[in-house]
Amino acid sequence: MSEQSTDRSPDQMPEPVELEYDPVFIHARREAIIIFCTWLVGLLWMVPYCYRYGYNVADPSQITTVFGIPSWLFWGIAIPWIVANLFTTWFCFGFMKDAELVDNPNEEIKSPAEGMESNQ
């Protein structure tokens, strides 16, 4: 195989094109990163906590309970689950923004009411 070489000098090389990302993509990426980081925090809390306090118990009769549930299950599963549900509710209704999907970014977005007025 022969290697292809470019015989261009640095001043003849094309300028790199700076990409302009769509705002919808940027918002979706930010939301995905937040969701992934939240999932990672939950994983890093639940798995080690449950492993440490739920396994390797010398005497199972010594496990303490909270509301009749083993404490490792309450603090390692139930509480994180409740916190995750509260976070999800806040995230979906308070943080996420609805974005209009437009095929042509230069095209003006019309509301449904404006579309009905133009048809009459």
CA dist 26 and 99 (Å) reads 11
User: Does the pTM of the predicted model rise above 0.85?
Assistant: no
Q: Please state, for a pLDDT cut of 90, what percent of the chain lies above it.
A: 38
Angstrom distances, CA of residue 120 to CA of 108, 114, 117: 20, 10, 6
Which carries the bigger pLDDT value, residue 103 or residue 16?
16
pLDDT of residue 66 exceeding 60: yes
Stated as kind and residue range, the H or E segment containing 38 is: helix 23-54
Whether 4 is covered by a domain: the verdict is no
Domain count, the chain: 1
* Rounded mean pLDDT, 60-81: 90
CA dist 68 and 28 (Å) reads 42
Nearest to 95, CA basis, from 36, 37, 35, 39: 35
Whether 85 is covered by a domain: the verdict is yes
The average confidence (pLDDT) of the chain is 81
Residue 82 belongs to what domain range?
Answer: 22-56+63-99
Whether 12 is covered by a domain: the verdict is no
Q: What is the pLDDT of residues 6-61, one digit of tens each?
A: 566 667 777 778 888 888 888 889 999 999 999 999 999 999 999 998 887 778 78
Which carries the bigger pLDDT value, residue 62 or residue 117?
62
Whether 30 is covered by a domain: the verdict is yes
